[in-house]
Amino acid sequence: MRRRDIHPHLKTLIKLIVAAVILVVIVRSGHLDLKVLTSLFTSWQSASVLLVLAALNFLLLTIRWFDLVNCTLSELSFFRSVKLNLIANFFNFVFPSSIGGDLVRGYYLAQDMHSQKMKAALSVVLDRVIGLYSLISLSAVTLLYLSFQKDVESLRVLTGSTLLLFLGYSFFLFLIISGIGKRIAKMITWSVLQKPLNFLLSCHDYLQESMRNVPLFLRTFFAGIFSQLVVAVFFFQVGQYIGEPQVNFLDVLSVIPLGFLVMSVPIAPAGIGVGQVAFLFLIKQVTGVSSQFGPTAISAFQVALLIWSLFGGWFYLTLRKPKELLEE
């Protein structure tokens, strides 16, 4: 077998090993009790509540993408968008981070839309770009509020960093929406950057046109906010179930978007291991206390997502190709 055929598999194996090592370290350090995690899904009461909340989060994100596609491209049925999102979630547990699932989702949508393949793929990028802005904005607002309520040095540092990130990302979106970014890119003549710049320029017009649609932008933005509120309720419920009533809802809400942002880094499938470390650190930064809550809550969320994502695996095996859809 040629080296280039082995290389991608080797990279995936290494990342799986990294995720496993991180989980083992967290469990052995006492910050994640597998018995406590298991008990959340062996009790019908807690399991049903957590699975419903995870499903609601998934539906909100699906509605967000469904709205984007139908407003900027051809009509896509809601059931088809649910299928593609479930398949994407399934592949998130196969490929490192949530980016791998996005590639699969974009690929199948592009196959559905022969005349708009590029825009179909870019709808996934647009979904991520605006979704990321909602994550950063929510964290910035809640952390700023908490920093006035609590005298915790680590919280002030986290708040300052998040506000800088918010301002930087807002400026980035301004460059796209205003068209200034496109003009700057055209002025760059360095040959090494020409290929990536040409690609960015080919994407720019669709992103700019879509984000200039204010009602669409706001619907997409607030769908992301509501989805994070659902995740915060999920985390809060986990805190109640595992006996940590001191967990504050605003504390949870302030760090969830940042935790998901870190989990999107392509280190491990579905952010497993990375998410546990991220939420252990973030919860400590906000509360000043190190506990099992953060790693346990994100682990429970990943388990709930995995359960629903199994339907995505089944849909992937039975997915009808575009030709089959046209023949109906």
> For 25-81, how does the pLDDT look when each residue is reduced to its tens digit (9 = 90+)?
667 665 677 888 899 999 999 999 999 999 999 999 999 999 999 888 777 889 989
pLDDT on residue 292: 86
Distances (CA, A) of 299 to 66, 136, 275, 295: 28, 22, 8, 6
Q: Render pLDDT for 278-323 as a digit per residue (tens, 0 to 9).
A: 888 888 888 877 788 889 999 999 999 989 999 988 888 877 654 4
Q: What angle, rounded to 10 degrees, do the helices at 44-72 and 78-92 form?
A: 120
- d(CA 257, CA 165) in angstroms, rounded, equals 13
Name the average pLDDT for the chain.
Answer: 83
pLDDT on residue 181: 85
Question: Residue 33, SS3?
Answer: coil
DSSP label at residue 321 = P
Q: Render pLDDT for 162-171 as a digit per residue (tens, 0 to 9).
A: 999 999 999 9
Is the model's pLDDT at 204 over the cut of 90?
A: no
**CB within 8 A of 228, min separation 6: which ones?**
134, 135, 138, 253, 256, 257, 260
Of 150-159, 187-196, 218-227, the range with the highest mean pLDDT is: 218-227
Is the model's pLDDT at 324 over the cut of 90?
A: no
Greatest Cα pair distance, the chain, in angstroms, is 64
The amino acid sitting at 228 is Q
pLDDT on residue 285: 86
Question: Across the strands, what pairs with 269?
Answer: 96
Cα-Cα-Cα-Cα dihedral sign, residues 126, 127, 132, 134: positive
The structure's pTM equals 0.85
Is the model's pLDDT at 199 over the cut of 90?
A: no
Q: With left for phi above 0 and alpha for psi between -120 and 50, is residue 102 left, alpha or beta?
A: alpha
| Cβ-contact 220, 189 below 8 angstroms | no
Distances (CA, A) of 68 to 1, 71, 207: 42, 5, 11
pLDDT on residue 52: 97
Mean pLDDT of 267-271: 65
